[in-house]
Chains A and B, each alone.
Chain A
Amino acid sequence: MIELNDVRVVVPPLRRDDDAKVLLDDVSLSLVERRVAVIGANGSGKSTLLRLLNGMRKPTSGTVSIDGLDTVKDAAGVRRAVGFVFTDPLAQLLMSTPLEDVTLSLKDLPRRERGRRAQGLLDERGLGHLAHQSIYDLSGGERQLVALTSVLAVAPRVIVADEPTTLLDLRNRLMLRRALADLPQQIIYSTHDLDFAADADRVVVIDGGRVLADGAPDEAIQTYRQAMGVHA
């Protein structure tokens, strides 16, 4: 279970005259659903919220815990439990080819097993034929699936995905949505795609760093549309 208690994230001002910037304020959530979507306008605090979940960002006040592990005190444990998928997979892929990148995730395995296991994981996702391609030669969808495979290689209990479909075309977007839907892990993702958000069991709407709505997809998305002044 993911718990956020009275979380506040504040960025101190660069100059003495400026005010501190509040990125998240008074956020308390208890996330147990298998699929949770986070929606909101650009700059609303979605990415900050997601980065709190694997300890990439520390709360200024309040606590965040994953299955009882505090994201600040047990940062290493939390990062093993929570895999993070970035919007731009090129930022996430650290090695030159898919096989090398997945192999990097398998550091804990004996050296001889890593390559074979990495190839197996790529084969499972239908990416085996791309194992030795340059990550720069892959399509956006292929890159995102490789990034997901690298994250899944360490068998996380939770997957957090920050706008994973934003840079993808329609076909790749659908492919990634199917891939995420098939995963057994709990998945928390942010998106601007309201159809994708509607796939979730629960939708959290963030506006100006606060939770504007939280609940069933239909109602939450409707509240978001109203807040944006968009009527379906």
Chain B
Amino acid sequence: MNVDASLLGLYRPGGGWLFRVSIGWKYLLMLVLTLPPLILLWWPLTVGFNVVTLACLVSSGIDVRRAVRIGWFMWCLLGTLAAYHLITLNPAAAVIQPGNILVAVFAARLLTLSTPTPELLDALQRALQPLRFVGVSPLRVALTIALMIRSIPYLIGLFDDARDAARARGAERNVVAHLLPVVLGAVAYSERTGEALIARGLGEQHSG
């Protein structure tokens, strides 16, 4: 399984400017790059912000190929979305909808490719401190998000395994044969993750 080719990628140490910027600025940059195309819904803006976001990644020393490796599943989804709008004769939407998703993914990768997960977790935990007043544990929320980042490659791997298994049984077109193992695998995975959290005492000794 290639995790670099997964939706949010994997942090590797680097020396570019993005690696030196504090996490708060990175979160701000992510919002600045994502919100304008989402709000204004103008296709040149979508294209422009994709280019700028990608430029941010590349100028920080992250290889273009690594920057755009968001996984075949995501590219297929974006391609399908674009194709749908082209078929329905809405070329602007064919750029805006998948393009805005893409800019959000690239912007999220500004964070995940240049920041170790524990740092993301600490920053989230600090930002979520006010939630304590309504009885929500910031650590638990931050840990949930960190687990989500870690789980995406595994779940995509489940899709790959289910597809291979369906092919091996000559059931390529059987939707149930594709989806059922993924659902069962995801449930089993969440159970095992829950056990690991309990075994490691996470979420109980650090309730804050």
- Of the candidates B12, B147, B204, the one whose C-beta lies within 8 Å of that of A94 is B147
Interface SS majority for chain A: helix
Report the bound CA distance from A111 to B205 in whole Å. Answer: 17
- Of the candidates A54, A103, A114, A134, the one whose C-beta lies within 8 Å of that of B199 is A54
Which one of B42-50, B62-70, B81-89, B115-123 is at the A interface? Answer: B115-123
Indicate whether B150 reaches chain A with its CB closer than 8 angstroms.
yes
Q: Which of A25-72 contact B (CB under 8 A)?
A: 54, 56
Q: How far is the CB of A136 from chain B (nearest CB, A)?
A: 4
Interface SS majority for chain B: helix
- Name B12's closest neighbour in chain A (CB-CB): A132
Residues in A neighbouring B157, C-beta threshold 8 A: 136
CB within 8 Å for A76 and B201 given contacts A95-B117, A96-B10, A96-B117: yes
- Name B112's closest neighbour in chain A (CB-CB): A96
Which one of A6-14, A80-88, A165-173, A206-214 is at the B interface? Answer: A80-88
Residues in A neighbouring B189, C-beta threshold 8 A: 91
B153 and A86 contact, CB distance less than 8 A:
no
Q: How far is the CB of A92 from chain B (nearest CB, A)?
A: 5
Q: Which of B129-153 contact A (CB under 8 A)?
A: 146-147, 149-150, 153
Residues in B neighbouring A132, C-beta threshold 8 A: 11-13
A86 and B196 contact, CB distance less than 8 A:
yes
Number of interface residues of A (CB under 8 A): 33
Q: Which of B103-121 contact A (CB under 8 A)?
A: 116-118, 121
Report the bound CA distance from A155 to B199 in whole Å. Answer: 14
B154 and A90 contact, CB distance less than 8 A:
yes
CB within 8 Å for A92 and B206 given contacts A76-B201, A136-B3, A136-B153: no
- Name A80's closest neighbour in chain B (CB-CB): B201
A56 and B201 contact, CB distance less than 8 A:
no
- Of the candidates B146, B192, B195, B198, the one whose C-beta lies within 8 Å of that of A95 is B146
Known: A94-B146, A94-B202, A136-B3. 16 other contacts (CB 8 A): A56-B199, A75-B204, A76-B201, A79-B200, A80-B205, A92-B200, A96-B3, A96-B10, A97-B10, A97-B117, A100-B116, A103-B116, A105-B200, A132-B13, A134-B1, A137-B1
Q: Which residues of A contact B (CB under 8 A)?
A: 54, 56, 75-76, 79-80, 84, 86, 88, 90-97, 99-100, 103-105, 107, 111, 114-115, 132, 134, 136-137, 150-151, 154
Q: Which residues of B contact A (CB under 8 A)?
A: 1-4, 10-13, 116-118, 121-122, 146-147, 149-150, 153-154, 157, 189, 192-193, 195-202, 204-206
